[in-house]
Chain A
């Protein structure tokens, strides 16, 4: 393949000609084929000559960790997926990827796990071969399993020097009583320490969720659609359907304000986190779409609250607030780093005041249009390489089972009115629906 050495990476020269005002925010055609075993194949031709992005999307994350003592397992399992099969043992798998010069990794979130590769287009069949093989025939020993548990602890430790992990742990633990969103994706430390003893459970986790009807393959870039489908059928065709349906407990409504505090060992500026329960991702629920606007109205760089706290009074050096897209009802999380301990209450009050104002004073038409414009352009500017496009397709697929939901969401944004926003703030941003966590330096 000497000629491939000459492969010239010409970047996205023509397709990205986005017409921002068109109906569909996602400007590319998404091909969707579902195999007989239930595996969804999503593909998007994209002008990245000689390059493809290849995602395997598994609709399982820390949300699926329903049994007590098993938090962090979806993420742990992501690590085990790199431990090889009989056909391609770990080292062989790595050597193949190395020869391809592929950029390969994986990540786990609360709702999904993704295995992603960016490589040259002529590696397509090799990638399909090695990826299908590990999803169907993964095999690892107890010893390999226990060794990897050490790497997970290492990953926990690397994050533990940051206050953010502690804040999210406390916030989710307090805000949720029942739902698995009670723990973060990396899991409770006590469960991580017990991971080496959970080999059997790991096999069960694989058996439950790594099944074709629970997964999608996403291919974006320079490829031949007919060839892709032919290869996917050839390599993934014998993957057996599963039938497991997790019983994820429903979180009851919160009825009173919850408050927590973390005394941080070592120097730190104080942090303030405030969270409100909000509905799950939806392309139909206008309240949920309105909540994405609230994030902009309160915390974008042009928001009066942001301007006041960061630019004018300079009480905080950063503040943000948003509700991530989740399959089940999660939280709108506000997080601020404050410059002095004695300002924590003042910052808190300013945030509450801004929220109260949104409940009574409708946002101007002009401001609403600015937010809509921002959401559209911000999305358009993210579509600048095959990997980002594949991520977006995977993200919306895992949420709803249909990547077209991205277009539905942005259509719904168009319909949001000042009254919708007021109603959403009134309904969800209440005292009894909120949890507050502060973190300050431990007093000695």
Chain B
């Protein structure tokens, strides 16, 4: 009984006011003292003009990390500080989000600042310089120089979507960012910040009258919605295609994958979800990749796979919400391995993918993985903020609440559904592979030659593992000289 009453309090609705096209997504929880805003704008790096890659990201930063007509960035920081209120942002390929969190003691004042940032941005020249530097340094210092794994993952997306609107990185390119002027930002804002292009998400114990105010305030934006960028099919991958990033580094970070033609709105996605969890559930020991590469052989710290773009939420195991994409990709993330094992590990991971595609899951593995996901997916929404994000994504995909949909779809599936989906959407022959490594040329030569790549152990391991190693070390990869690109790290995301 208690639960039913609580459920009724958790009123969820989309409301549209007269004269306002602004869509509002509410997650009302009257006693919850922290209020979250998630303002989703349907604009992403796909909207970046050619030669100005990074314009969307910089525009979002100029709002979330800028000033209002009334207040400078500095003055805003001073106001927010004693409340410990936060304003964060995300930008992706298709949507961007500006996120506000505040204790309800300060809601009214906070809302004024937060909404002004979006409705009446300052577009200050100094803020522009600082935010542009932030993005440039993210490319030049953070990912190129300081995080080989992130570099590998981002470069994979860049490589998979050559000659496609998704090619432009969501944070821009060095040349693109350098070409952008403050005037470009203002024009981009004018074009994309329209009523029809925004969903205002709100969660917590806010006063209901705030909803009317949001509708009124956001009706000041121009009406309508810019036309959505059309997405062509991603280019076909021919065999194994390699992008090797030459870098002075003590280990090799590998990511590989290929586009898949479905997302959360397709029923087969739920079959693939089971297959993927069995193969490489993020940051767990459940996956085959993790068990065989790290668990049995200690070759690295972790090995995972994905069927949609994945960004980890802080130190948790779960993805951030609000990075929906019409087109998704399958990927495998091999965390850094010693350079001497880089050939072996790639053979092993692709061979495991072949086994998955050819043999599928056993009935037992299917059952246990499904049970895992049915329970685990409930943990993805432990805060109202995350729950609101998932609700908004579900609307974006045009599906019912994703967490509920998982509960509905998974029990209907059979092991054959899953194995059919694997054969239909996954493959082990046409893959794009990125490695961040030292002496890339010698890696290329090894791969092309298909020479044996035995590994050694510091202690005896089970005979069954050694027997399997013998097969892996000879496993033939169809690596052709013409399918390699080697680029120095400085050229990644340069243009």
Contact = CB atoms under 8 A, between A and B. Distances in A.
Contacts of B403: 9
A17 B104 CA distance: 10
Contacts of B103: 18, 20, 377, 380-381
Contact of A101 (B6, B299, B378): B378
A346 B316 CA distance: 38
Interface in B379-417: 379, 381-385, 387, 403, 407, 411
Contacts of A145: 459
Nearest to A311: B74
A386 B77 contact: no
Interface string B292-304: 0011111111100
A269 B137 contact: yes
A147 B368 contact: no
A16 B33 contact: yes
Interface string B124-143: 00100110011001001100
A51 B48 CA distance: 43
A150 B297 contact: yes
Interface stretch (B145-153, B177-185, B227-235, B266-274): B145-153
Interface in B302-338: 302, 316-318, 335-338
A154 B3 contact: no
Interface in A1-59: 5, 7-18, 20, 48-51
Contact of A118 (B9, B335, B382): B382
A154 B300 CA distance: 4
Given A100-B375, A314-B130, A154 B31 contact: no
A162 interface: yes
Interface residues of A, number: 83
B105 interface: yes
A432 interface: no
Nearest to A339: B133
Contacts of B29: 11-13
Interface string B12-25: 00000000000000
B471 interface: no
B144 A9 contact: no
Most buried by B among A147, A148, A149, A370: A147
Given A94-B285, A266-B248, A268-B141, A16 B296 contact: no
Contact of B130 (A14, A310, A376): A310
A148 B375 CA distance: 29
A317 B137 contact: yes
B378 to A, nearest CB: 5
Given A82-B285, A98-B286, A150-B298, A18 B338 contact: no
A370 to B, nearest CB: 4
A214 B282 CA distance: 32
Contact of A12 (B32, B253, B369, B462): B32
A193 B375 CA distance: 39
A387 B286 CA distance: 21
Contact of B81 (A14, A142, A265, A301): A301
Contact of A10 (B7, B148, B298, B458): B7
A337 B137 contact: yes
Nearest to B407: A5
B85 to A, nearest CB: 8
B84 A266 contact: no
Interface string A257-276: 00000000111110000000
Given A14-B31, A98-B372, A158-B251, A147 B83 contact: no
A414 interface: no
Contact of A317 (B133, B375, B385, B458): B133
B298 A149 contact: yes
A146 interface: yes
Contacts of B302: 154
A162 B146 CA distance: 4
Contacts of A302: 74, 77-78, 81
A16 B6 contact: no
B193 interface: no
B449 interface: no
A111 B485 CA distance: 46
B379 A381 contact: no
B81 A374 contact: yes
Q: Which of A14, A196, A307 has the most CB of B within 10 A?
A: A14
Nearest to A382: B84
B55 interface: no
Given A147-B297, A196-B459, A266 B33 contact: no
B367 to A, nearest CB: 10
A155 B29 CA distance: 41
B375 A161 contact: no
A396 B357 CA distance: 49
Interface in A78-114: 82, 90, 94-95, 98-105
B147 A151 contact: no
B27 to A, nearest CB: 9
Interface in A314-354: 314, 317, 337, 339
Interface string B59-94: 000000000000001100110011111100000000
B101 A143 contact: no
A149 B140 contact: no
Contact of A9 (B129, B137, B298, B381): B381
Contacts of A250: none
A161 B248 CA distance: 9
A13 B9 contact: yes
A384 B462 CA distance: 46
Contacts of B250: 157, 160-161
A411 interface: no
B251 A157 contact: yes
A204 interface: no
B163 interface: no
Counting chain A CB atoms within 10 Å of each CB, the highest count among B284, B296, B374, B387 belongs to B284
B371 interface: yes
B383 A378 contact: no
B145 A143 contact: no
Contacts of B251: 154, 157-158, 160-161
B260 interface: no
A312 to B, nearest CB: 8
B33 A149 contact: no
B490 interface: yes
Given A148-B298, A314-B130, A317-B134, A105 B33 contact: no
A101 B379 contact: yes
Nearest to A376: B84
A120 interface: yes
A143 B460 contact: yes
A78 to B, nearest CB: 13
Contacts of B462: 143
A385 interface: yes
B57 interface: no
A147 B137 contact: no
A164 interface: yes
8 contacts: A99-B375, A103-B318, A147-B461, A161-B146, A163-B146, A196-B459, A311-B126, A380-B33
Q: Return the 8 tightest CB-CB contacts between A and B, nearest first.
A: A101-B375, A150-B298, A146-B459, A377-B84, A154-B300, A378-B84, A101-B376, A157-B251
